[in-house]
A and B are shown apart, each in its own frame.
Chain A
């Protein structure tokens, strides 16, 4: 018996999915449910749903530093420190150590926040879930910025609906063009001052305010409970991993769905080094991986390959896949690989205090807030910049932390801090970043511990983003004022970079032609048709709404197309 052939058999599948995060999980689910044998190659360690969430049920006093990052953590998670929360003690174990996984900032700065383990950042995302609107797909073409999208809202709408029903999205239907409704589970409630704010802003400024749309089960259906998922328990400790499977993640939802088909093989610790291109067939034939622990190199083979390693990860794999035909990276005829890094810029907004509402309080810790849809450059509104931003925020009563900056100490002070304090409110903008080909990364000369190139980033905000940020700050203050709130504190944080929103997008954009883009309207690499990219890498523009839902919908759509093409023997 030829052992070599056996080994290849064991490593041959119908499809390979690189990455198990939010889009990779969807690729695995869709492809296995359509009958394909699928291997998911995850570069990180295995984390098991529920039992792997090691801090999920810990009490506050069980964290030595009560959640604060230590100096050691601050050094090792230097990029994470810029976010102000990812290296916190309770969920640091789910984020990547930046010192061990270096990258270089050549020009400007880039915050690259990574999570290498089963489920990737789907375990850590903010769960805010919004459909793109019609204009989001048209803006590039209308304004002559970047390249036109080859797809529009109608292409994605049925897939939005499809993924929403499975994921479970809580929200309130509003019938707004700017923020199309999803297929919703019941909305979470607004607090009394939030209702006041919504009504005031609507009446005085004509702007809608809605409760955040989140991928949390508020009323699970059979499709959710069948996978062992249950209702949100309002702990708001989501980032530690949810033992109830109440928020959507690859671990709670798509991977178990793929697993129950009996056609999923999960491979952990497998860093995809390159996609192997076959010059004869002009297709990819497999993926070479490096075991992150043993350094062993291994090849996996399949008819189709879905690249879902996260925007930067996916593109870097293509860049590293060099062949005679593609000397600067797989599918890079357009020289677009690595270009147009986008994100949502944040850190500009306003907070205030609220008088009254002393008798209003709430039981439960809502893992959600309010959402104010984009109103700039919408309809008759015109601004000095292009595109726009939405706001996220909300109101709550202060806890004991108010004592830190307050006067007093002693018995009375101690007692006073055991009661809820005054209401405070805050809103921060999430702004669209325009595609700019000079905001990019390249493979550097330095190698990481697996012998793979360390990435070098050049990324800076442009005038459009900087102008928008001023407006993000001022409009937030205007709305808090309209609601009659006091002590308004407007801010526009200056030392932020692209990447801070952890919504990294672009670098392998979708477009109308092999000359201007990496993938076509079906998410296929233009001339390597059995390679599909369906994560943030393919975004040709960024919208201002949180991106994950769009990746989910695109992935399900592309998987459907891929399987139909396979059946037609086109791949």
Chain B
């Protein structure tokens, strides 16, 4: 088994070098360029195990359901297949394969956490090259945009899809928030307690 320190340095090397390479295709979501829509996308069972493990690290089962309980791994694969194009898919697969090479699944939990913490820190540097803005795009409509030259980094995709998959799932919503699909009124609260759960509509 690879020692924890070795695993971390390998990840650092892989992550540090790989994502800034200009080989990744330019992102082109705005123009709907069909040439970069891959015909199909699926993960191998080995890759699925890594995705599940990472998703569960992000949203672990506690007193409430975790990412795996809420079906997040399958959701991530579906989203990559249906909603993402080659640059993001390549970036994602590269990230999963880097973890495979670093023997991620064979590491003890604490080492896995350390690897992901490092991955997050490296991703932050990558994300600085992206322009992120909250833009008003219509009446009562805001949009967060993320624009950059390369495919969105693996960790960012993983985190975004895990949170989206979990916090919009039935289990995730029921366990995490006060779900009020028909609030019926708009009322100001002036004495909110720190324990207050978010309202989700």
Contact = CB atoms under 8 A, between A and B. Distances in A.
Interface of A: 57, 59-61, 64-72, 74-75, 78, 81-85, 125-128, 188-189, 191-192, 212, 233-237, 346-347, 349, 351, 358-369, 392-393, 397, 399-401, 403-405, 407-411, 413-415, 417-420, 424, 426-428, 489, 491, 493, 495, 500-502, 546
Contacts of B34: 75
Contact of A362 (B83, B182, B189): B189
Contact of B83 (A65, A127, A364, A407): A65
Contacts of B75: 66
Interface in B132-153: 132-145
Given A349-B135, A408-B120, A409-B116, 14 more contacts: A126-B141, A233-B184, A235-B182, A363-B187, A363-B199, A366-B186, A392-B139, A409-B120, A410-B60, A417-B167, A418-B177, A419-B194, A420-B196, A489-B134
Contacts of B100: none
Nearest to A363: B187
Contact of A404 (B116, B159, B200): B159
A347 to B, nearest CB: 6
B183 A234 contact: yes
- B31, B176, B200, B201 — which one has the most chain A CB atoms within 10 A of its CB? B201
Contacts of A349: 135-136
Interface in B114-144: 116, 120, 124, 127, 132-144
A60 B184 contact: no
B176 A418 contact: yes
B58 interface: yes
Contacts of A359: 189-192
B188 interface: yes
Nearest to A128: B139
A489 B135 CA distance: 10
A56 B62 CA distance: 33
Contact of B168 (A61, A81, A362): A61
Contacts of B83: 65, 68-71
For chain B, which range describes its interface: under 10, 10 to 19, 20 to 34, or 35 or more residues? 35 or more
Contacts of B58: 409-410, 413-414
B169 interface: yes
- A364, A426, A546 — which one has the most chain B CB atoms within 10 A of its CB? A364
B138 A400 contact: no
A66 B139 contact: no
Contacts of A71: 37, 82-85
Contacts of A83: 137-138
Q: Would you call the interface of chain A mostly helix, strand, loop, or mixed?
A: loop
Nearest to B145: A84
A121 to B, nearest CB: 12
B170 A59 contact: yes
Interface of B: 29-32, 34, 37, 57-60, 62, 75, 78-79, 82-85, 113, 116, 120, 124, 127, 132-145, 156, 159-160, 163-165, 167-170, 173, 176-177, 180-192, 194-201
A395 to B, nearest CB: 11
The 6 closest A-B pairs by CB, nearest first: A126-B139, A428-B136, A364-B186, A364-B183, A418-B176, A409-B58
Given A66-B168, A191-B188, A365-B201, A74 B135 contact: no
A347 B137 contact: yes
Q: Would you call the interface of chain B mostly helix, strand, loop, or mixed?
A: mixed
A61 B184 contact: no
A26 to B, nearest CB: 20
Contacts of A189: 186-188
A417 B176 contact: yes
A43 B23 CA distance: 48
A392 B143 CA distance: 14
Nearest to B191: A359
Nearest to A366: B186
- B60, B137, B164, B167 — which one has the most chain A CB atoms within 10 A of its CB? B137
A66 B164 contact: yes
A362 B186 contact: yes
Given A65-B79, A65-B82, A363-B183, A409 B159 contact: yes
Given A71-B82, A419-B194, A491-B135, A82 B183 contact: no
A415 B197 CA distance: 10
B134 A346 contact: no
Nearest to B144: A401
A68 B163 contact: no
B41 to A, nearest CB: 10
Contacts of A392: 136, 139-140
Contacts of A365: 183, 186, 199, 201
Given A69-B83, A404-B163, A407-B120, A419 B196 contact: yes
B197 A418 contact: yes
B190 A192 contact: yes
B138 A419 contact: no
Contact of A426 (B59, B60, B134, B183): B134
29 contacts: A57-B181, A71-B37, A74-B32, A75-B32, A75-B37, A78-B31, A83-B138, A84-B145, A85-B143, A125-B139, A126-B139, A127-B140, A191-B188, A236-B201, A346-B138, A360-B189, A360-B192, A362-B187, A362-B189, A363-B186, A363-B187, A365-B201, A369-B140, A405-B127, A418-B198, A419-B194, A419-B198, A426-B142, A491-B135
